[in-house]
Amino acid sequence: MKLFLTGYMGSGKSLIGKKLSEKLKIPFQDLDFLIEKEAKKTISQIFAESGEIYFRKLEREILKGVLNSEADQIIALGGGTPCYYDNMELINAFTNSSSFYLKLSVENLTRRLLKEKDHRPMISHLNSQKELDEFVRKHLFERSFYYNQSKNVIDCNHKSPEEIVDLILQKLG
């Protein structure tokens, strides 16, 4: 079984993935970490040195490798992964896999990301909560179409990580 967690940055994909891993006794992988390991560079370095097109091609290859692996895994996708190529179609077509969109409101995402802003290259340049809110609102609008292609949508607003994990476990049956 492969479980794919998708959602905007700050939606809790890594935290929920690790908690699911503990409950299900299935290894957790972060796709961005796998990309960095393969490239021997950080995501920021890859973007700066080789550009987004190169990054998206590498991301696609790593994703295919994960899908073709025999191992059961819980995988946190990068926030942009579902939006390129036919990545969501590929994930959803794969047998013995399930995808979960960890959905949060713009307000909750902005609140979370404001605390992490300096550690996230995509938003570190934004100078105010208003700018961050506008950035997230625009980006989420563009990406929601892809995120909503997940087999399962989990409303994470006002829920603890444990409640979110329980909702995912219920969906898995």
Binding positions for substrate are 32, 56, 79, 143
Binding positions for Mg(2+) are 14
Residue 30, H or E segment: strand 28-30
51 contacts: CB under 8 Å, gap ≥ 6: none
Binding positions are 10-15, 32, 56, 79, 120, 143
Binding positions for ATP are 10-15, 120
Sign of the C-alpha dihedral, residues 15, 16, 17, 22? Answer: positive
Burial class (CB in 10 A: 0-12, 13-18, 19+), 156: buried
Q: Which of 157, 154, 158 is nearest to 20 (CA)?
A: 154
- Phi (first) and psi of residue 3, to 5 degrees: -115, 125
